């Protein structure tokens, strides 16, 4: 499936929800403050966030208050303003070989699955990839990652369950160097029952792998569940205070009508969104592109709507 069609398909529930709500609040009359308040409410339900919903409604107020607009015209204004809120991530910089990427995130966000998809993507680019099973405490996490390594034809490093994650990361860096790997993706624990302990564990991993090189890791990417709303933003801020996050991976955008969360995340966090996950299949991870995202959110509705 092409990346564009994957994004468009994944955002179908959100797109249909926005269009359905507009059908209920846009008639032949003029755009009023009451209509705009209803629009804000429905955008918040789509998980674009309160501040972002206000920004979109304010743009419509500026351009359309007191005017009689069609649904298509309203969607065009919203899509233009939404595009203004987003930026494309900077180009990926491959700084050395191996390029070390530490993947962090809470349990349930889709972290291990995302690592497998990234391995598949980089392998398809001709890069030699290694995966390191640094989540040594979650039941079956090591075996799950090993399956992804086999599916993506990546090298794999593991220790026994319950081992020190920092030791796994250290050995993986050495192995990636020895085997001339281009990319090393390191999985990490995501337990939330003790946030302080989790952060300490991650800090230790960073300290240990820097014994190989002060440049390691080259990137720290946080995997976040796109359906958990404001809680996701709060979690991201906590992680970012402890680590210099260089990118976000937003997963599970296909699951509900809350795919507008990317707008909220982008509007609240100064961290580039690098990838979006649109499903469980190995190829259903797309590099983030704001034009494709906006098209996926609004384009089909615009295509189907007549003035």
- Is the pLDDT score of 305 beyond 50? no
The helix or strand, by DSSP H or E, that contains position 211, with its residue range, turns out to be none
- Is the pLDDT score of 236 beyond 60? yes
The helix or strand, by DSSP H or E, that contains position 74, with its residue range, turns out to be helix 71-85
Which conformational region is residue 165 in: left (phi greater than 0), alpha (psi within -120 to 50 degrees), or beta?
Answer: alpha
pLDDT tens digits for 58-99? 988 998 888 887 778 888 888 898 888 888 999 988 988 999
Specify which residues 196 forms β-bridges with: none
Please state which of the ranges 8-17, 74-83, 204-213 shows the lowest mean pLDDT: 8-17
Give the start-end residues of each E strand in 11-107: 99-104
Q: Cα(73)–Cα(233) distance, rounded to whole angstroms?
A: 31
DSSP labels for 149-164? HHHHT-EEE---TT--
- Average pLDDT over every residue of 264-269: 82
- Average pLDDT over every residue of 110-128: 95
pLDDT band at 302 (very low <50, low <70, confident <90, very high): very low
- Count of other CB atoms within 10 angstroms of residue 246: 20
- Cβ neighbourhood burial of 284 (10 Å; 0-12, 13-18, 19+): buried
Residue 56: predicted pLDDT: 87
Q: Give 286's Cβ-side CA count (13 Å radius).
A: 26
Q: Cα(237)–Cα(255) distance, rounded to whole angstroms?
A: 24
Which conformational region is residue 28 in: left (phi greater than 0), alpha (psi within -120 to 50 degrees), or beta?
Answer: alpha
pLDDT tens digits for 27-49? 556 788 888 888 888 778 777 77
Q: Cα(164)–Cα(134) distance, rounded to whole angstroms?
A: 8
Quick check: helix, strand or coil at residue 217? Answer: coil
- Is the pLDDT score of 111 beyond 70? yes
pLDDT band at 301 (very low <50, low <70, confident <90, very high): very low
- Is the pLDDT score of 21 beyond 70? no
With beta carbons less than 8 A apart as the criterion, state whether 251 and 221 touch.
Answer: no
Q: Cα(204)–Cα(198) distance, rounded to whole angstroms?
A: 10
The closest of 103, 52, 12 to 262, measured between CA atoms, is: 52
Q: Dihedral, CA atoms, 240, 155, 225, 53, nearest 10 degrees?
A: 70
Specify which residues 250 forms β-bridges with: 224, 276
- Average pLDDT over every residue of 199-220: 95
Structural domains of the chain in order of their starting residue, each with its CATH number: 3-88+296-304 (1.20.120.140), 99-292 (3.40.50.300)
Q: Cα(235)–Cα(111) distance, rounded to whole angstroms?
A: 15
- Average pLDDT over every residue of 197-201: 85
- Count of other CB atoms within 10 angstroms of residue 221: 25
Q: What is the pTM of this model?
A: 0.87
Radius of gyration of the chain (CA): 21
- Mean per-residue pLDDT of the chain: 85
């Amino acid at each position: 499936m092409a990346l564009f069609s994957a994004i468009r398909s994944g955002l179908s529930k959100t797109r249909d929800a926005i269009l359905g709500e507009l059908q209920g609040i846009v008639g032949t009359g003029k755009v009023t403050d009451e209509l705009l308040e209803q629009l804000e409410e429905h955008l918040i339900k789509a998980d674009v966030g309160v501040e972002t919903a206000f920004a979109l409604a304010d743009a419509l107020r500026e351009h359309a208050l007191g005017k009689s607009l069609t649904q298509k015209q309203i969607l065009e204004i919203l899509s233009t303003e939404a595009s203004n809120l987003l930026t494309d991530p900077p180009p990926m910089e491959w700084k050395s070989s191996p390029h070390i990427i530490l993947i962090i995130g809470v349990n349930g966000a889709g972290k291990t699955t995302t690592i497998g998809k990234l391995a598949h993507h980089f392998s398809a680019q001709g890069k030699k990839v290694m995966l390191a099973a640094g989540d040594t405490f979650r039941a079956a996490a090591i075996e799950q990652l090993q399956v992804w390594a086999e599916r993506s034809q990546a090298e794999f490093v593991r220790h026994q369950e319950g081992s020190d994650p920092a030791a796994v990361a250290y050995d993986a860096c050495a192995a990636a160097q020895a085997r001339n790997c281009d990319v090393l993706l390191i999985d990490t624990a995501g337990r939330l029952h003790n946030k302080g302990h989790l952060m300490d564990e991650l800090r230790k991993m960073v300290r240990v792998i820097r014994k190989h090189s002060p440049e390691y890791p080259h990137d720290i990417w946080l995997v976040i569940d796109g359906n958990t709303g404001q809680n996701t933003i709060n979690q991201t801020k906590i992680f970012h205070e402890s680590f210099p996050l260089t990118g976000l991976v937003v997963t599970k955008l296909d699951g509900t009508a809350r795919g507008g969360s990317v707008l909220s995340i982008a509007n609240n966090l100064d961290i580039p969104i690098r990838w979006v996950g649109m499903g469980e299949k190995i190829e259903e991870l797309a590099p983030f592109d704001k034009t494709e995202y906006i098209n996926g959110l609004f384009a089909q509705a615009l295509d189907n709507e007549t003035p």
